Structures are given as C-alpha cells and as structure tokens.
Amino acid sequence: MSKAAIYIRVSTQDQVENYSIEVQRERLEAYCKAKGMDIYNVYIDGGYSGASMERPDLKRLLSNLKDIDAVVVYKLDRLSRSQRDTLELIEEHFLKNNVDFISMTETIDTSTPFGKAMIGILSVFAQLERETIAERMRMGHIKRAENGLRGMGGDYDPAGYIRVNGQLETNEEEATHIRRAFDLYEQLHSITKVQEILKREGFPVWRFRRYRDILENPLYIGKVKFSGKLYKGKHDPIVSERQFTRVQTLLQRHKGNNAHKAKMSLLTGMLRCDHCGESFVSYSTGISKKNKRPYYYYICRSRRFPSEYEIKCQNKIWSRKKLESLIIQELHNLSFEKTKSASPVKNKVNFEKLIKELDRKMERLINLYASNTKISSQMLESQIENLNVEKEKLIAEQSSSSETDELVPENMIELINTNFDDLEFSYKQSIVQKLVKEIHINELDVTIDWRF
C-alpha cells in the first residue's frame, strides 16, 4: 500500500472560502481511503500565506519525502499561490524523490502525462489570483496611509497613544515618557544610560529594544509609514521633526554590534543565574585605544540591563572563552558508562504528538473565529502567530534531535573526545544542547544539569 502525506494550508481569509482545516482533512482522508492509500502523516500550516515557502510544516514535509510515495492536497493553491514555487516544489522536490503529487479538487495526478501538463496551466491562474489579491490589499493600505491612518499593526495601542474609534489619541502619561527619552538620548547617546536616568526619575522602564523602536519611529512626528514612504498622519505628534532628525543621525552613529556575535555564543539560552534566576546573555566590548580587540563575555541579564530591574544582580561576569572551555572540558570528561549509569534515561520527547496538539489548538481557534464575530481578526492572527512560533521551535528541536540521535551515546562521546574543536559551530551547538539541559552560574561555581 502506497504512503500518502496530506498537506493542509489555511489562512484566516480562507475560512470564509470553505477551506477550513477540518473540511480539508475530512475530504483528503476520505480520498486517500477511497484510493487505497495509507496516510503517513498530516501536515498543517495554519495562518500562512501561499505566497511564501517559509512554512514550518511544508519544510517538515520536504524533509520526510524519502518516507512517502505521494503528497495529496485539497486544491493546488493550498500548496502555493506562486507559479514558480509550485513548479519548484513539484519538479525539484516531489518528482526528483519519486513522490507523486495529487490535487484532489482539480483531479491532478503527476503520475500521468496529462497531470504534469495541467500543473503548469493551473499554477499560472493561482499566481494571478494571488497577485490580484495582493494588489487590492496594497491599494487599500496606501489609501489608508494617504488618509493619515496608521497601518493595521495588530490589536494593541502604540506607546504614547490610545485608539479611540479607529483614531490615535495622545496618551499624555506615556507621551511625557517618550519626550523625556528623546531628550535624554540627545544628551547621552546611549539607550542604556537613558534607561538609568528614567528609572531614577520614577518612569516605568521599558526594554532596550522598545526604546530603540520608538526613537526611530516616524509615528512620533505625526506621520505614518507604508512601503518606505511617509504620509502625514491624522494624529498629533509627540516630538518635533527637527529633534527626530537629530536623533536619527545619532542612532546611525551608535549602531549596536552585538546581535550577530551573540549567535556565535555556544552556551546562549542555557545559562541561568543562581542569584536572581535571570538568564545570562552574551556581549562584547568595542575596540578602543585601551582595547585593541573586542573581548567577549557572558553576563547576567539583570546586571547587563540593571535599569529594567528593581535590583542590579552582582553575579560574576564570565569570559566567554573561559566558560565555554570549562563546559567543553566537562564534555570531554564524559564517558559512555557515565551517561548510562548516572540516572535513568528520560522518555524520548514525542515531537509528533506535541506538533499535532498545536495543530488541534489552531484548528479550534480558527473554527471559533468563524463562528464568533466578536473575535477580531487581529486577535486571531496574534494567537495563530504565537502557536506557529511554538510549532517552529518544536520542529527545530525535532530536527536537531534527529540530527544527533544516531550519535547518542557512544558515537557522540567519541566525537567529543576526538575532533570536537574541528566541528562546524552549528554542529557543536547541537551536540551541547543535546547533552546539556541548563547551566547554573553562582559566582565561580558552575553546575551543569545534564539531559541524561
């Protein structure tokens, strides 16, 4: 019996087109049963546009092609609304892996010559429909911006304003906070120092990233932005254009340089402060007359950004090189016998079960939206986005787990003790995350919670 993978995609707008997850699933399962095909798995992307291939379950499906014989969809545009992407998926992924593609509604089956020919024709119309919808939405956004209205930015009030009947009105308390932040940044040229002063002055201090976004947002000079163009807004400005321009010049001069360096930190996301419970973050010093080269460190977040907390943490700042060397040495000290006898092996995580549970939550949420007009589309999209973020994390963990499963425990320990230093960074990180659950920092004491 051939194995079929069912692929389902639904956006919030598709709900009114009778393309709900439930409808697609029922019809596709019945189709597979009628054709005598065994269902290998059901892949669901909820709240994703067909214009992009950046969809978590589509990627998961492509990684499992070696285990299936056919991919079945309800309609061609469920796979993609882009002609180029449709042909790429079918020709470069499915057919090259000897996987047939079947679209139930259009009765397309790539195992036949006629089915292959119809793919090209129908994908043209799918792309035309997508581009027509996109153009209508773009014109609506432009018209909204020309009328001085802020874009549909989600179900929240931007800092400094409240929404009243669709219009932005100034929130004076937050507006005072924002004006003070602009004034201080002009004087200090540092968001961290701005946070320190605001905290002393009794303001509720926000996160670093939020201040950065506010300082470079033209919303606060009474303008709205769409597609790179500025339009005069209907709302009142909070700061002057002249001050805003000066601040943009300063922001360009003081760009942060730590974002990409943090990605090369082997222990990011695993370090926990035993003083205050916060995580440790990676940062680096700049190059100056005193420092001829940058130095890299791990530091408690509460110590790195003290203005965001009631009390500044005083836990030790660790050299990134020293701390990573210490952990790598502990990895070298591992042996297969230790990993086997240290503690009972925990049950393997059932990623498929967790992913399917998220799909069910998404399906219930979309069905609730379809039957309850009191739920706003912004609220739905926000909840769907949160579920998709959680789902992407699970899929990434599943992928990381499958990459290193064959190395645990004997081969992984052997690999650590032979050529760990020569491995690519991403593979090193994957091995560390596979073995280490969390690392606790208490001054000079470093405690590792192993996963075994």
**What are the b/e assignments for 113-141, b being 16+ CB within 10 Å?**
eebbebbeebbeebbeebeeeeeeeeeee
CA distances, 172 to each of 164, 179, 199 (Å): 14, 10, 18
The residue among 204, 146, 154 whose CA lies nearest residue 180 is: 204
- The one-letter amino acid code at 110 reads T
Cα–Cα distance measured from residue 379 to residue 373, given in angstroms and rounded to the nearest whole number: 12
CB 280, CB 441: distance < 8 Å: yes
Structure tokens at 34: 């009628």
Structure tokens at 131: 């581009």
Collapsed DSSP state (helix, strand, coil) of residue 396: helix
Residue 402 annotated among the catalytic residues of the structure: no
Structure tokens at 5: 């993978």
Beta bridge partner(s), residue 439: 271, 448
CB 119, CB 84: distance < 8 Å: no
Q: Which helix (H) or strand (E) holds 115?
A: helix 113-146
Cα 168 off chain centre by: 29
Structure tokens at 193: 């120092």
Cα–Cα distance measured from residue 168 to residue 249, given in angstroms and rounded to the nearest whole number: 27
CA atoms 9, 10, 14, 18: torsion sign: positive
Backbone angles phi, psi at 89, to 5 degrees: -60, -45
Collapsed DSSP state (helix, strand, coil) of residue 258: coil
Q: Which helix (H) or strand (E) holds 47?
A: none
Total residue count of the chain as it appears in this document: 452
Collapsed DSSP state (helix, strand, coil) of residue 169: strand
Q: Which of 11, 49, 240, 284 is catalytic?
A: 11
Collapsed DSSP state (helix, strand, coil) of residue 57: helix
DSSP-assigned letters across all residues of 326-389: HHHHHHHT--HHHHHHSSPPPPPP-HHHHHHHHHHHHHHHHHHHHH-TTS-HHHHHHHHHHHHH
Catalytic positions: 11
